[in-house]
Chains A and B, each alone.
Chain A
């Protein structure tokens, strides 16, 4: 592997790791506040316990998200100094606003987590709401940076770098509304599906556990609503990509030749040598309809672009198929559950339903990671599309294998530890388990 590849791998690994914790930091506060609010309204002790459990989960996940986010803010320079050195001023504005939002989130999370007995119930709930709002704001601002990388604007390119810099224009580069909506929804969706999966798992083993039924009833509405909205937003986003970044769309769909009435290819493994996509299921004119709302619209193929500007076609296509596939499965389950909820006036609790929710538990995270890979791989070979190649941005520091393997080991260790801690948090709520004794021990420190 070259140093460039190690740098990309390290950045990718750090982001893939951070994304999960960041998404939890955005969404768990919402679920935590919802159960807190339900507890206040009903006086039900189970909801109190749920909001406390969610707060503990948030504390663990946010802490790891905070440190892995610090790593990322440094890695921008450590790995891509030329990019930051030239374009830091262009894109510094959303970064600094993200900093403000993150700061606010951390402050109110501190009050929410540790101040339950120190502040009034009203201020406590307001703190929770502030955490949820600022968490969403920080995801919003940081996604604006990615939109800029996909569609750079707000400056004029000169031989020495950007001139005539307009940070406000750069901050709202074309397509920002679709990408931010898509990302925010994915945070809520991934977290709600994961939470639903966990509680479905417990309910399958302990069907009578009232606490977990209530927990499921907090997660399911958010999971269903986001899973149904996401395909709509995703479609808008894809339509924008089709217009603004045709080469990325061509890679996503495995479209090699420019053609009118292009088919939609489901699955398959694109072969860049032959320009074909074997094993794919073709839906005639499907792509033209989806991308341009016209069955005879022309879709640009990869061959319309110089070969050295192609993204890695196979990876982009497969990641896109995974995202769309998992997204569709989640949307179907959400639709079926909502129909049941509407007809029976209760969320489904049968074993088959629980199995379905258990199996879809990881899909939100899978879809989120796959979608992120689509946009990042799909932008290659550029770090700033059409302006700066990734290879020209990388640090001159040698032996990048060393930090890559170090951070790989660290993140693996942290990931395993967090999972173990969360498992123990859930285990404390199992019927017949002395959850309170465990909690008592936590008070010592």
Chain B
């Protein structure tokens, strides 16, 4: 296998991980915004507790993806930075406000009104950012970003404001909210709270299905290449069948309250959706003018990048395992013990 295909896989893998971790993190913010009912405060406290130690880590996957892109496929990075300048800048503002407000809420202890204000900034940005992220993806696969030579010719707005891009944005938002709700059923310390998030998981699961359907229908006109990829390539087709199986499984497991396994199935479902996206646009990095090969760095540079990736994996993965083991949900302990901060 050539280095650009391996690196292409690595970029796709990074986006899968970003969806599974960073996405769920955004989803947590969505449920913070939508917290309701008699256990409103407990819901928010659970979300804050689950996100607290890991949110910074969860968002580094995005940086890793960026770095792999500009080091491995510099031309694609340049094209996307120009064509998607506006939504990426807005996404950045969302990321900045989200992270800062979450931290400020934890350390700005002047009372409920201030906390609520930071909470609103945090949760509002958590809705705004995934939507933009999805719209950028929609522009990349939709074939609306056009390049001649090294010049982007499709303008700065038209490519990402298509109905198809909006639908992908909605899908990203629903998917992240669904993931977060499923994860939280597993982390909830009480049965009542678990039921709250089970209802939310089932509801957002339906929303994922509907928005995925919308994406599919709009793809026929909005992203003809993806539409073809979905139907023709046997590899992509297998991925989509896998996604469907995982989706049904996560629904069934949620329905029967097998939360630990529901979590696995939901993560599988989300991961396969992202991989399905990657497979259906292969071999393009930016459909239809930039391919893996045309944007690739020199083979020597790519090989060294793969070495760096190996070193990074060897250091980061064991550390991550340790992190998640340390903060694995302790069902029996009281909320105070779990949430204490020093």
Interface residues of A (CB under 8 A from B): 52, 55-56, 59-60, 62-64, 66-71, 73-74, 76-78, 81-82, 84-93, 95-97, 99-100, 102-104, 106-111, 113-119, 130, 163, 165-168, 395-397, 403, 406, 410, 414, 417, 421, 424-425, 438, 441-445
Contacts A100-B315, A113-B342 aside, 6 further interface pairs with beta carbons under 8 A come to A81-B77, A86-B74, A103-B315, A410-B93, A417-B100, A445-B48
Q: Which single member of A70, A78, A103, A421 contacts B107 (CB below 8 Å)?
A: A421
**B104 interfacial contact with A, CB 8 Å:** yes
Whether A107 and B57, one on each chain, are in contact in the complex, defined by CB atoms closer than 8 angstroms, is yes
Whether B85 and A99, one on each chain, are in contact in the complex, defined by CB atoms closer than 8 angstroms, is no
Whether A93 and B341, one on each chain, are in contact in the complex, defined by CB atoms closer than 8 angstroms, is no
Whether B297 and A396, one on each chain, are in contact in the complex, defined by CB atoms closer than 8 angstroms, is no
Chain B nearest CB from A395 CB (Å) reads 6
Whether A81 and B53, one on each chain, are in contact in the complex, defined by CB atoms closer than 8 angstroms, is no
- What are 18 A-B residue pairs whose CB atoms fall within 8 Å in the complex? A60-B104, A63-B56, A63-B102, A77-B81, A82-B150, A85-B77, A85-B78, A88-B78, A96-B64, A107-B320, A107-B322, A107-B323, A110-B53, A111-B322, A114-B341, A116-B342, A410-B93, A438-B109
Whether A59 and B89, one on each chain, are in contact in the complex, defined by CB atoms closer than 8 angstroms, is no
> Which residue of chain B has the shortest Cβ distance to A61 in the bound complex?
B103
Tell me whether A85 and B336 are in contact in the complex, defined as CB-CB below 8 angstroms, given that A107-B323, A113-B53, A114-B52 are known contacts. no
Whether B74 and A89, one on each chain, are in contact in the complex, defined by CB atoms closer than 8 angstroms, is yes
Whether A167 and B52, one on each chain, are in contact in the complex, defined by CB atoms closer than 8 angstroms, is no
Whether A67 and B67, one on each chain, are in contact in the complex, defined by CB atoms closer than 8 angstroms, is no
Chain A nearest CB from B153 CB (Å) reads 11
Whether A92 and B56, one on each chain, are in contact in the complex, defined by CB atoms closer than 8 angstroms, is no
- Please provide the chain B residues from 323 to 338 with a CB less than 8 Å away from any CB of chain A in the complex: 323, 326-327, 336-337
Whether B337 and A73, one on each chain, are in contact in the complex, defined by CB atoms closer than 8 angstroms, is no
Tell me whether A100 and B326 are in contact in the complex, defined as CB-CB below 8 angstroms, given that A106-B60, A406-B93 are known contacts. no
Per the bound structure, the CA–CA distance linking A130 and B323 in Å amounts to 13
**B339 interfacial contact with A, CB 8 Å:** yes
Q: Which single member of A87, A99, A111 contacts B60 (CB below 8 Å)?
A: A99
Per the bound structure, the CA–CA distance linking A102 and B57 in Å amounts to 9
Whether B340 and A167, one on each chain, are in contact in the complex, defined by CB atoms closer than 8 angstroms, is no
Q: Which 6 residue pairs spanning A and B have beta carbons closest together?
A: A92-B71, A85-B78, A77-B81, A89-B297, A88-B74, A100-B312
Tell me whether A442 and B301 are in contact in the complex, defined as CB-CB below 8 angstroms, given that A84-B77, A114-B53, A397-B156 are known contacts. no
Q: For chain A, what secondary structure do more than half of its interface residues adopt (helix, strand, loop), or is it mixed?
A: helix
What are the residues of chain B within 8 A of A113 when measuring CB–CB? 53, 341-342
Binds A, one of B169-177, B253-261, B264-272, B302-310: B302-310
Q: For chain B, what secondary structure do more than half of its interface residues adopt (helix, strand, loop), or is it mixed?
A: helix
Give the interface centre of B102, B301, B304, B308 by most chain A CB atoms within 10 Å. Answer: B301
Q: Which single member of B72, B88, B109 contacts A442 (CB below 8 Å)?
A: B109
Whether B327 and A114, one on each chain, are in contact in the complex, defined by CB atoms closer than 8 angstroms, is yes
**B300 interfacial contact with A, CB 8 Å:** yes
Tell me whether A110 and B57 are in contact in the complex, defined as CB-CB below 8 angstroms, given that A68-B96, A165-B297, A445-B105 are known contacts. yes
What are the residues of chain A within 8 A of B337 when measuring CB–CB? 117
Per the bound structure, the CA–CA distance linking A104 and B56 in Å amounts to 11
Whether A66 and B56, one on each chain, are in contact in the complex, defined by CB atoms closer than 8 angstroms, is yes
Whether B56 and A109, one on each chain, are in contact in the complex, defined by CB atoms closer than 8 angstroms, is yes
Tell me whether A414 and B100 are in contact in the complex, defined as CB-CB below 8 angstroms, given that A99-B63, A396-B82 are known contacts. yes
A-B contacts at CB below 8 angstroms, number? 235
Whether A92 and B309, one on each chain, are in contact in the complex, defined by CB atoms closer than 8 angstroms, is no
- Please provide the chain B residues from 67 to 124 with a CB less than 8 Å away from any CB of chain A in the complex: 67-68, 70-72, 74-75, 77-82, 85-86, 88-89, 92-93, 95-100, 102-109, 115
Chain A nearest CB from B342 CB (Å) reads 4
What are the residues of chain B within 8 A of A86 when measuring CB–CB? 74
What are the residues of chain B within 8 A of A443 when measuring CB–CB? 336, 339-341
Give the interface centre of A60, A91, A106, A414 by most chain B CB atoms within 10 Å. Answer: A106
Per the bound structure, the CA–CA distance linking A85 and B52 in Å amounts to 36
Whether A118 and B315, one on each chain, are in contact in the complex, defined by CB atoms closer than 8 angstroms, is no
> Which residue of chain A has the shortest Cβ distance to B328 in the bound complex?
A118
Whether B70 and A84, one on each chain, are in contact in the complex, defined by CB atoms closer than 8 angstroms, is yes
**B298 interfacial contact with A, CB 8 Å:** yes
What are the residues of chain A within 8 A of B82 when measuring CB–CB? 81, 395-397
What are the residues of chain A within 8 A of B109 when measuring CB–CB? 438, 441-442
**B62 interfacial contact with A, CB 8 Å:** yes
Whether A395 and B115, one on each chain, are in contact in the complex, defined by CB atoms closer than 8 angstroms, is no
Per the bound structure, the CA–CA distance linking A150 and B281 in Å amounts to 39
What are the residues of chain A within 8 A of B70 when measuring CB–CB? 76-77, 84, 88, 92, 95
Per the bound structure, the CA–CA distance linking A84 and B64 in Å amounts to 16
What are the residues of chain B within 8 A of A444 when measuring CB–CB? 45
What are the residues of chain A within 8 A of B152 when measuring CB–CB? 396
**B36 interfacial contact with A, CB 8 Å:** no
Tell me whether A55 and B71 are in contact in the complex, defined as CB-CB below 8 angstroms, given that A77-B80, A89-B301 are known contacts. no
Whether A106 and B56, one on each chain, are in contact in the complex, defined by CB atoms closer than 8 angstroms, is yes
Tell me whether A55 and B342 are in contact in the complex, defined as CB-CB below 8 angstroms, given that A73-B67, A107-B316 are known contacts. yes
What are the residues of chain B within 8 A of A71 when measuring CB–CB? 92, 95-96
What are the residues of chain A within 8 A of B312 when measuring CB–CB? 96-97, 99-100, 103
Per the bound structure, the CA–CA distance linking A4 and B186 in Å amounts to 51
Tell me whether A104 and B104 are in contact in the complex, defined as CB-CB below 8 angstroms, given that A70-B62, A414-B96 are known contacts. no
What are the residues of chain A within 8 A of B78 when measuring CB–CB? 77, 81-82, 84-85, 88
Per the bound structure, the CA–CA distance linking A255 and B109 in Å amounts to 54
Interface string of B118-152 (1 = CB under 8 A from A): 00000000000000000000000000000000111
Chain B nearest CB from A149 CB (Å) reads 15
